[in-house]
Copies of this chain bind each other. A is one copy, B any other.
Amino acid sequence: MTRPSTDQSETSLQRLDLVQPLLLDSARRTEQALRKYMGDLAQVPPQLLEAMQYSLFAGGKRVRPALVFACGSLFDAPEVDMLPAAAAMECVHTFSLIHDDLPAMDDDDLRRGVPTNHKVFGEAMAILAGDALLSLAFQILTERVGEAMVAAAMVRELATATGPVGMIGGQVADILGETEEPTPAKVRYIHERKTAALLAASCRLGGLSGRTGQDDIRAVGEYGYHLGLAFQLADDALDATATAEQLGKRTGKDTRAGKQTMVRLAGVEATLQAADDHVQRALGAVDRYGEAAAPLKALAEFVVRRSC
């Protein structure tokens, strides 16, 4: 991997110092909001609530909420509008993890070092807990119907990024790709939809909560898109190089499953280089915001550096 010059390195390290408090703060705000929303669910079968909460509070890094908060803060978004967006993003993300881990999909027993949802609650409940979290995301986004313009726009962003043209389409391509030779186009298609769509949506929801214009929404969306591609590339490299202990889940499984990854196409070094290139493009997209974009820049660098 090409090393940046010393000056850049120092800036990068200073930026990385920003990330830990930023993620902790985002996790705290998001989890508080999620607990409130879960508490509002009256008369839900307790077993369903338990299955939903098991995965929702399994110690994720809350990167998507952090993007909502960081992008929203660029435009002085009120907390009351960022919280539902952050919580909804995490509901959709958790839904996708639960369904991805199912025996019919990736068949994973372990996630973040603990048994996957279906290993604890059974397959039927895991499918339904995922379905429930996906629905709940849209319910949460429309809690404040008085702010209908913002709510409707957020629903549209999230539904599009999640659905057949977004993450779910990417997951289908990912599964189908297991029986095909990897090509750069297929890898890009999967990465764009499976990962970048939802990270870009997190940023755009942040922008929407700040009621900013289309230009700004586009800029933070582009940042999130490149961040997402960098994230997925770094993740693929990590799967090929880290130990199961480091990751809290099985590693090397992409290669075993015959997944479409850039590592298989071009090796670990080239994959990390490509990730770095996307980080640079992410930084470029928000350069216009100067110092205000420091948290976004720190997050982008964190995404690839965690794998070094």
Given contacts A138-B138, A152-B148, A159-B136, contact A128 B168 (CB under 8 A): yes
Interface membership of chain A positions 167-203, coded 1 if the CB is closer than 8 angstroms to chain B and 0 otherwise? 0110111011000000000000100000000000000
Complex CA–CA separation, A104 to B129 (angstroms): 13
The residue of chain B having its C-beta at the shortest distance from the C-beta of A106 within the complex is: B124
Binds B, one of A40-48, A62-70, A229-237, A253-261: A40-48
Given contacts A45-B172, A172-B48, contact A148 B138 (CB under 8 A): no
Contact A135 B163 (CB under 8 A): yes
Interface membership of chain A positions 95-114, coded 1 if the CB is closer than 8 angstroms to chain B and 0 otherwise? 10001001011000000000
Oligomer: number of copies: 2
Query: Does residue A248 face the partner (Cβ distance < 8 Å to B)?
Result: no
Shortest distance in angstroms between A131's beta carbon and chain B's nearest beta carbon?
Answer: 5
Shortest distance in angstroms between A159's beta carbon and chain B's nearest beta carbon?
Answer: 4
Query: Does residue A123 face the partner (Cβ distance < 8 Å to B)?
Result: yes
Contact B164 A48 (CB under 8 A): yes
Complex CA–CA separation, A165 to B138 (angstroms): 13
Partner of A44, one of B43, B49, B137, B164: B164
Contact B145 A149 (CB under 8 A): yes
A–B pairs, 29, beta carbons within 8 Å = A41-B165, A43-B165, A45-B173, A47-B172, A48-B168, A49-B164, A52-B164, A95-B131, A99-B127, A99-B128, A102-B124, A104-B122, A104-B127, A125-B175, A131-B131, A135-B163, A135-B168, A136-B159, A136-B164, A138-B138, A138-B155, A138-B158, A138-B159, A139-B156, A139-B160, A141-B155, A142-B159, A145-B153, A148-B153
Q: Contact residues of A with B, CB < 8 Å?
A: 41-45, 47-49, 52, 95, 99, 102, 104-105, 122-125, 127-128, 130-132, 134-139, 141-143, 145, 148-149, 151-153, 155-156, 158-160, 162-166, 168-169, 171-173, 175-176, 189
Extra contacts, 6 of them, besides A127-B127, A130-B131, A135-B162 (Cβ < 8 A), are A45-B173, A104-B127, A141-B155, A148-B148, A152-B155, A155-B155
